Chain A
């Protein structure tokens, strides 16, 4: 082995240590150079990586428990969950406003735990926009460029481009207080993008807007993120927002990711009862597994009825289970069910006309909150309260989950 080979070998052995030393000691631009010579995670497509991250504010209760998550470059990932589920804490750790109690967060292969927020170069849209009230819109946008010592003409060009991007080109001279909520939102977005970060974080940015504007902005943000090729981590408690905007959704509850999947998989194949309940509307029935073979099982409900289901996280007969069926997958037309499928007796309690769909509430197996949604088609049956019907479903639409 020649001397140079030995040195190379040594360097590759201690690549991580050497890199983290330079990441801490050197300015960012320099470390990016280094990155080209040392293998790093981003080559596997992991731009942001959470490795066994834990967070506790008081040293006892873990707000984030053992989080492992990797986000690819250019991906739009949403952290979805009820309040207190740890999603915002994760975002704040990524932005650098909170420190992880345990574990490591990597950005483009570099550990960032010890990098202060102002050196991370991550864009962020805050929940309340956090626009500087004493500066005009243009000054707000120029701020990140000024602190980066970018020349005046270059700065003005970038500010103008960013404002045009969010259709706010004519508002550069206004103060934030003179703008509507939607306009402030756009300015906040432009400010987070103006210094061309590769990663942008959004903390419930649309929460304060009315429904129509929110839907419009959802569309605009997703388009912008994809057009610019930036990686986006988006936090929301609104599941519709999560489903319509994201490439992948991480459902948080109790400090853990309950499921990480693209929106369609999340909705159609929830892996546990929390996800099934949290995403979209769901009918749940509790019972015990009666038989289980191959990809199908039968579940005995508390009422004694037997139903068909698909085992998801039940493994053997006798286990307690919560089965979940989407309201739009319940069938009361016997012809469309498989031969020999189990059916349940149901009594119609309420019929609600909602325009595009009908929403029918049934009493099924002792529960009065069983909902069926049907499309308002010309041949659709409109059930009347008091009617006795029989309902069933395809076995794969009824998922037997943890109790």
Chain B
């Protein structure tokens, strides 16, 4: 969209000012994330750019923080904890969230909005409040400080994402498709797996990815609900920041950013695929 030939001086100024503002917003959003990437290759144990790094000499850079991450026991335990907790939490979120979304999209469900609001509340309520609540509740029933406690807590945080994305896909879902499937002789279970599931799958997967990222990045709830045995990556980073200030954190952060980018790219690809399938744009 270029500038029309009849634009006034004011419009011209605004046109360029708008671009500058947008650029600044992007810069403030992205710069902190980008800056850690070169820093994580720092050859020294500092959080700043050394003169060697600035002169781009190879001696200024090294993989030692990555090595530290992959060899240090604390970090490896934290990685293992994250890798075992996040997928299980994701699985639970996806299962319950998808069922809830399908149930809530039926027209005859009473108190739909109220139920929806309650299920989504973990996303809206300040995390520290959910975390404190979960701490007291889980201690009472003996889940505090256990693997399943953390998994359940993270699943509760992930469910809103799944509900929202699956509900969004269901809005475009044509109910006559399930009727058609029934009419063609498919029982309800076959109809669900052969017709409904494939069509809402992009929503389910992107919701699942969000749930995964939530669990993988989450630090507040796990601090409350978990114990030393469930120390996840973000928790380890948090303690690392307070206690030993090592650029290994930067290496981990870079890895996490890379994982997030890959996952978000997957979401985007899936979204496009679903739109194409629903005939929103020609292939």
Genuine A/B complex:
yes
Q: How far is the CA of A218 from the CA of B182 in the complex (A)?
A: 26
Judged by DSSP, the binding face of A is loop
B174 close to A (CB within 8 Å): yes
Interface residues of B in 158-197 (CB under 8 A from A): 174, 176-177, 179-188, 190-191, 194-195
Give every chain B residue within 8 A of A126 (Cβ-Cβ). Answer: 176, 179-180
Instruction: Flag if A143 contacts B184 (CB, 8 Å).
Output: yes
A171 close to B (CB within 8 Å): no
Instruction: Flag if B180 contacts A132 (CB, 8 Å).
Output: yes
B198 close to A (CB within 8 Å): yes
Instruction: Flag if A124 contacts B183 (CB, 8 Å).
Output: yes
Instruction: Flag if B177 contacts A121 (CB, 8 Å).
Output: no
Contact of A177 among B179, B188, B198, B279 (CB under 8 A): B279
A123 close to B (CB within 8 Å): yes
Contact of A144 among B184, B187, B276, B279 (CB under 8 A): B184
Give every chain B residue within 8 A of A119 (Cβ-Cβ). Answer: 185
B115 close to A (CB within 8 Å): no
Instruction: Flag if B183 contacts A177 (CB, 8 Å).
Output: no
Instruction: Flag if A130 contacts B198 (CB, 8 Å).
Output: no
Instruction: Flag if A143 contacts B181 (CB, 8 Å).
Output: yes
Interface size, B (range) = 20 to 34
Instruction: Flag if A123 contacts B282 (CB, 8 Å).
Output: no
Interface residues of A in 163-216 (CB under 8 A from B): 175-178, 191, 195
A118 close to B (CB within 8 Å): yes
Give every chain B residue within 8 A of A95 (Cβ-Cβ). Answer: 179, 183
Judged by DSSP, the binding face of B is helix
Instruction: Flag if A144 contacts B179 (CB, 8 Å).
Output: no
Instruction: Flag if A117 contacts B182 (CB, 8 Å).
Output: yes
Query: Which of B177, B183, B199, B283 has the most chain A CB within a 10 Å cutoff?
Result: B183
Chain A residue at minimum C-beta to C-beta distance from B198: A134
Q: How far is the CA of A318 from the CA of B278 in the complex (A)?
A: 63
A1 close to B (CB within 8 Å): no
Instruction: Flag if A130 contacts B179 (CB, 8 Å).
Output: yes
Instruction: Flag if B186 contacts A133 (CB, 8 Å).
Output: no
- Chain A 122-136 interface 0/1 with B at a Cβ cutoff of 8 Å (1 = within): 111011101111100
A147 close to B (CB within 8 Å): yes
Give every chain A residue within 8 A of B278 (Cβ-Cβ). Answer: 133, 177
Query: Which of B179, B180, B186 has the most chain A CB within a 10 Å cutoff?
Result: B180
Instruction: Flag if B177 contacts A148 (CB, 8 Å).
Output: no
Instruction: Flag if B186 contacts A130 (CB, 8 Å).
Output: no
Contact of B179 among A97, A147, A175 (CB under 8 A): A97
Interface residues of A in 286-326 (CB under 8 A from B): none
Given contacts A133-B199, A177-B277, whether A124 and B186 have CB atoms under 8 Å apart is: no
A116 close to B (CB within 8 Å): yes
Instruction: Flag if A147 contacts B176 (CB, 8 Å).
Output: no
Q: How far is the CA of A131 from the CA of B199 in the complex (A)?
A: 12
Q: How far is the CA of A177 from the CA of B190 in the complex (A)?
A: 23
- Chain B 257-283 interface 0/1 with A at a Cβ cutoff of 8 Å (1 = within): 000000000000000000011110011
Q: How far is the CA of A229 from the CA of B53 in the complex (A)?
A: 84
Chain B residue at minimum C-beta to C-beta distance from A122: B183
Give every chain B residue within 8 A of A123 (Cβ-Cβ). Answer: 183
Given contacts A147-B186, A176-B279, whether A117 and B176 have CB atoms under 8 Å apart is: no
Give every chain A residue within 8 A of B174 (Cβ-Cβ). Answer: 128, 130
Q: How far is the CA of A47 from the CA of B199 in the complex (A)?
A: 37
Given contact pairs A95-B179, A126-B179, A175-B279, enumerate 7 new A-B contacts (beta carbons under 8 Å).
Answer: A97-B182, A119-B185, A126-B180, A128-B176, A134-B199, A144-B184, A177-B282
29 A–B contacts, CB within 8 A, in A order:
A95-B183, A97-B182, A117-B182, A118-B181, A118-B183, A118-B184, A119-B185, A121-B185, A122-B183, A124-B183, A128-B174, A130-B174, A130-B179, A130-B180, A132-B180, A132-B181, A132-B195, A134-B198, A134-B277, A143-B181, A147-B184, A147-B187, A175-B277, A176-B279, A177-B278, A177-B279, A191-B184, A195-B184, A195-B185
